[in-house]
Amino acid sequence: MNLDVALRESIVKVCGVPPDQVGPAATLEDLGIDSLAAAEIITDVEIRAGIELPMDVLRGLSQMRTVGEVAAHLQSGARQPPVPSGS
């Protein structure tokens, strides 16, 4: 599943906003996405896209301001190789 599509669908579902409001330039603040809603969106994207995002991506989310930034951030993380466990 395309991560960008999954992300927008999750935002529509969790925030209860119409799809045309979830463009790349829409800010998380305007959509009412706080850290709590973000957690629900991220797990929803993971479940539906069948992926696991690395910790760096999760921790970096708080720096993102727009839907487009989040989408790019998720893409960059999803392309990374699995994080070595160190053991």
**Site of interaction with another protein (CB under 8 A):** 34-40, 42-44, 47, 52, 55, 58-59, 84, 86-87
| Cβ neighbours of 11 (radius 10 Å) | 25
| Cβ neighbours of 3 (radius 10 Å) | 20
| Rounded-to-integer distance, Cα 77 and Cα 53, Å | 6
Nearer to another protein, 82 or 84 (CB): 84
| Least separation in angstroms between CB 49 and another protein | 13
Nearer to another protein, 15 or 72 (CB): 15
